[in-house]
Amino acid sequence: MVKPILKDVDLLLLMTVNPGFGGQSFIPEVLDKVKQAVAWREELGTNFEIEVDGGINQETAVACKNAGVDVFVAGSAIFNQTDRKQMIETIRHA
């Protein structure tokens, strides 16, 4: 449980894939953890950022943003594109 230390952190990273290699599918159940982290942030009166890493693309970025995510790590969704700049902008404005 991370709640006891959240007053001491600047950023909480939630993995949205099983760590190990790129190109994996997003695990949607992590959105429940994001929502819990948002609730704890409000309850504790802290301002840590919530970051997700794994399976982030334009669709999953919207779901994450709606759940309360502040920071996104997108690897394959960007680096597998010929127009990387456009994909970054697409995810940024999701």
- The CATH classification number of 3-92 equals 3.20.20.70
**Residue 49 CA: distances (Å) to CA of 6, 11, 40, 41, 93:** 10, 5, 12, 9, 18
pLDDT average, residue stretch 83-93 = 91
**pLDDT, position 9:** 97
Model confidence pLDDT, tens digit, residues 21-71: 777 899 999 999 999 999 999 999 999 999 999 999 999 999 999 999 999
Domain ranges of the chain: 3-92
Q: How far apart are CA 86 and CA 93, in angstroms?
A: 11
Query: Whole-model pTM?
Result: 0.90
Predicted confidence at residue 23, as pLDDT, reads 78
